[in-house]
Amino acid sequence: MTSLGDDAVELTRELVALDTVNPALVPGAAGERPAVELLAARLSRRGFGIEIVGPADRPSLLATHRGRGGGWSLALNGHLDTVGVDGMEEPFSPRIEGGRMYGRGTCDMKAGVAAMVVAAEHAADAGHDGDVVLALVADEEHGSLGTEAVLEQLAGRMPDACIVGEPTWLDVIVAHRGFAAIEVEIHGRAAHSSRPDEGLNAVTLLGRLLGAVEARDRELAAGEGHPYAGHGSLMATVVHGGSAPFTLAAHASAIVERRSIPGEPLDSGLREVQTIIERLSLDASCRELVARDPWELSGASAARRVVELLPFTGRAGAPYWMESAMWESAGVPTVVCGPAGGGLHTVVEWVELDQLRAYTKALAALIPAFGRES
């Protein structure tokens, strides 16, 4: 008889063998459907109710096992998409070596998904009082359309708590930063470069904008940070300007990225960029392309209960964003913890199998205990 940990290792192997590269990152890529189909069929056989939500070509899976009663519900959330595989020799041929499994998505985050599925199946077989909801989503690596679809589907029946199984080395994440991307369009006036007084060089104006953005970033770095999430930041990540030599640029543009810490409002980046434009008297417009809230572990009783039941004592912050912020914003107290390894988004990705086994065992014990009195 295999152990829960061995079952999770085997399911990780099956999931990694599937190409689920996010097509929003790599045009024409396969997307998440192969994993949704595999897991929906498997979980249906184990008595889970199946709901497939979101766009037909980018599906996400909600699989719910109803308990004996008790009024509580617990969501286990992970993403099925991966980044691309350029430079990888055999990204979908998982191999085990030295206590690690290698392959695209092993760490980020098919091992976490496998642990959640196996632990939920174990709870279903053993019996539990409340409901267990597996929320296995598309598009986390890009636009979060999967979690948006899942939260819309769950409206009116939100779970009492959610565990997000992102790779954390089994630390409980206490906080992470939010982000926003702001597109700036700068308007100049074209002229021959031999007669610059007849024009207005948008590239020069872009340089002033970049200098002001860098200055604001230094201010943020020197200010009071968050004990776990660190400091906010402001930086330009994409710039364009000019059309030809010997011509003053009539147009330039930039994308400015703002990383925010808990306590800062969602529109921090947009307001700061607007302030810079006004202070420099630029003929420019800006618009927010995307913005996501920062997140901090709440003091809600359901979140505290999850943390109490997890046997892992490490606490950490994350400089990057996770979909925990979306669950929390929807009113669901959320905890982030999962098995890890290394090489995320690189050509050599792996997960530590001891972490995977320990996480699976912890979730299997946590699910039936969650609804009981502490």
Percentage of residues in the chain having pLDDT higher than 70: 99
140, 141, 166, 272: the catalytic one is 140
316 - beta bridge partners?
Answer: 173
- Reported as a single tens digit per residue, the pLDDT across 210-228 is 999 999 999 999 999 999 9
Q: How confident is the model at residue 275 (pLDDT cuts 50, 70, 90)?
A: very high
Whether the predicted pLDDT of 65 surpasses 80: yes
50's enclosing H/E stretch is: strand 49-53
pLDDT for 1 equals: 57
81, 141, 166, 323: the catalytic one is 81
For residue 34, which phi and psi values (nearest 5 degrees)?
Answer: -55, -40
Specify whether 81 is catalytic: yes
pLDDT for 373 equals: 52
Whether the predicted pLDDT of 289 surpasses 80: yes
97's enclosing H/E stretch is: strand 95-97
Structure tokens at 153: 């589907």
Task: Characterize the bridge pairing of strands 172-176 and 315-318.
Answer: parallel
Specify whether 140 is catalytic: yes
| Domains parsed from the chain with CATH numbers | 4-176+294-370 (3.40.630.10), 178-292 (3.30.70.360)
Give the CA angle between residues 166, 353, 109 to the nearest 5°: 25
* Cβ-Cβ contacts under 8 Å for 220 (sequence gap 6 or more): 231, 232, 233, 234
* Cβ-Cβ contacts under 8 Å for 117 (sequence gap 6 or more): 8, 11, 39, 42, 43, 134, 136
